[in-house]
Amino acid sequence: MTTKTVIKEHRLSGGGSRFKPSPNHGGTFAQNKADSIVIHFTAGSSFESSVNHLCSEKAKASAHLVIGREGQVTQLVPFNTIAWHAGKSQWKGRTGMNRFSIGIELDNAGELTKNEAGHYLSWFNRVYPPDDVFKGTHRNQSHVSFWHAYSEQQIDKTFAICQLLCEQYGITEIMGHEEIAPRRKTDPGPAFPLEKLRQSIHTDRADDGADDIFALSSQKVVAANKLNVRSGPGVDFEAVAKPLFSGKKVDVIERHGEWSKVEYTQTGWVSSRFLRSQ
């Protein structure tokens, strides 16, 4: 029987988690705590190789946690200390998200390519069976692509640890690296259920009786004569559908700064400035 995982002195304790210190970290967070979590994939070939890489001084990178495909966890940096996982990044008017966030790396090969023989290959040329391949459209792109699927144990563990971190530190937001550095990064990619994770987090902090502070879905109405629908959150992203006209009802399923991802018969990003409540 495994013991329950808890956080003691900013480290995971119990549940089989290990601590292996990385030299790649900054000082402590302001107020000794982060207020958000950033999810990543390692794009590496194995859990151990990624842990070792993030513990080597020359990598100049780290994360608080690495979660493996069997749900194994190694912590590299205490939760009150700044780790180096986000790089150049911005979110809701703040830059350098390392200063505000806990970084979680998931062992995953990242994007795969399909070769002429129909095999799915990682960037380091390993072949993955079709069962391990997720086919989907990345939030920052408009074409279908192939991604290494996450394992169920890994997703379960990630959800449980995020819940624990939210309870312990009052985390208010969970983002993907691809959202805070959309030009440079594609992790954790479409294979990771980021919306589900956000919706799964329950806190008892809510003022209005609702216990789900991450619920984003809300109906809005287009308040512009012609509103462009783009593949990503910004005017530089290409249009992916016919423009929306005034009065069209859409569901907001995600937000990124001044941009909203909306769902109707299609999905795409629009400027939030041209959406109003019903």
Contact status: 187 vs Zn ion (CB under 5 A): yes
Q: Which is nearer to Zn ion, 101 or 267 (CB)?
A: 101
Contact status: 178 vs Zn ion (CB under 5 A): no
What is the 8-class DSSP label of residue 243? P
Angstrom distance (rounded) from CA 163 to CA 242: 39
Which of the residues 26 through 45 are near Zn ion (CB under 5 A)? Answer: 40
Contact status: 138 vs Zn ion (CB under 5 A): no
Angstrom distance (rounded) from CA 64 to CA 100: 13
Angstrom distance (rounded) from CA 63 to CA 85: 5
Contact status: 64 vs Zn ion (CB under 5 A): no
Angstrom distance (rounded) from CA 105 to CA 37: 11
Q: Which is nearer to Zn ion, 154 or 260 (CB)?
A: 154
Q: Identify the H or E element spanning 179.
A: helix 177-180
Residue 267 and residue 253 in contact, taking contact as beta carbons nearer than 8 Å: yes
Rounded least distance, CB 106 to Zn ion, Å = 10
Taking CB under 5 A as the criterion, the residue among 25, 64, 148, 177 binding Zn ion is 177
Which region among 49-57, 66-74, 150-158, 187-195 touches Zn ion (by CB under 5 A)? 187-195
Which region among 112-120, 129-137, 184-192, 206-214 touches Zn ion (by CB under 5 A)? 184-192
Angstrom distance (rounded) from CA 49 to CA 45: 7
Rounded least distance, CB 228 to Zn ion, Å = 29
Binding site for Zn ion (CB under 5 A): 40, 177, 187
